[in-house]
Amino acid sequence: MKAVVGADIVGEPSGVEPMGKYEALGQFLLKQTNSLVPMTFKEIERIIGQKLPQSQRYPAWWSNNPSNNPMTQVWLDAGFNTEQVDIGGGKVVFRRVVQSASSEPKSDLHPLIGCMAGTVTIPPGVDLTESDPDWSDYIDKTHGPGAT
């Protein structure tokens, strides 16, 4: 049974979202001023207050794929990528990702999509949906009945 102090249950402050398992690592990384933050796995465990899962023994667990594991999303959200992962030595380096100076929202489209926007002008009075009689004659001659 939890102790009640006033209207709050001790250990569960009201109005505060409970921190995720790895959020302390994200908070730690956000406070860093260097672009490289080398850490041992033991240091990470001290920060998060628990052991890393057994899957930390595999390099893929330390990849920067956002759907990899919950901890990956924490360091990505803090603006870092991992590199120089040394599983045997129990070490990793977090590198601050340089953010674009652009204030435009990130798009899921390829950067070349829209690169030609505004470079083509259609003169007034041109109907792009109108068929081209010369083109239809060419198609009839080359692919119509009796074409060879």
pTM: 0.55
* Average pLDDT score, the chain: 78
* pLDDT band of 148, cuts 50, 70, 90: low
Position 27 scores a pLDDT of: 94
pLDDT higher at 105 or 126: 126
Query: In three state form, how does the secondary structure of the chain look?
Result: CCCEECCEECCECCCCCCCCCCHHHHHHHHHCCCCEEEEEHHHHHHHHCCCCCHHHHCHHHHCCCCCCCHHHHHHHHCCEEEEEEECCCCEEEEEECCCCCCCCCCCCCCCCCCCCCCCCCCCCCCCCCCCCHHHHHHHHHHHCCCCC
Position 21 scores a pLDDT of: 84
Given a cut of 50, whether residue 67 has pLDDT beyond it is yes
Position 125 scores a pLDDT of: 81
pLDDT higher at 137 or 52: 52
Position 130 scores a pLDDT of: 75
